[in-house]
Amino acid sequence: MDKRRTFSREFKLAAVKKIIEQGLTYAVVAKDLSIRETMLRKWKKSFDEEGTFPATPPAASRSRPS
């Protein structure tokens, strides 16, 4: 099974800035950064609504349902 990747706030902000400041499309930015377009859309929505991104919990604190 693939390991889930985590991204820093700086990475997310840089990705969102490419859309806002450079006028690039979600598809172009997502492909360039090797991330899913839906993830990028969630980051942009979060940034638009809150001006920031939710904290990413440390991997050790994540639990999976049994």
CB 62 within 8 A of CB 22: no
In this predicted structure, what is the pLDDT of residue 51?
79
Range of the domain at 5: 1-49
Residue 64 lies in a domain: no
* 15-48 pLDDT per residue, tens: 999 999 999 999 999 999 999 999 999 999 999 9
The domain total for the chain is 1
Q: Measured in whole angstroms, how far is the alpha carbon of residue 25 from the centre of its chain?
A: 15
33 inside domain: yes
> In the structure, what pLDDT confidence band is assigned to residue 49 with cuts at 50, 70 and 90?
confident
On the question of pLDDT at 61 being above 60, the answer is no
List all residues 6 or more positions away from 8 whose beta carbon is below 8 Å from its beta carbon: 56
Query: Given the structure tokens 């985590």, which residue do they identify?
Result: 6
Return d(Cα 40, Cα 19) in angstroms, integer. 10
- What would the two tokens of residue 29 be? 């930015």
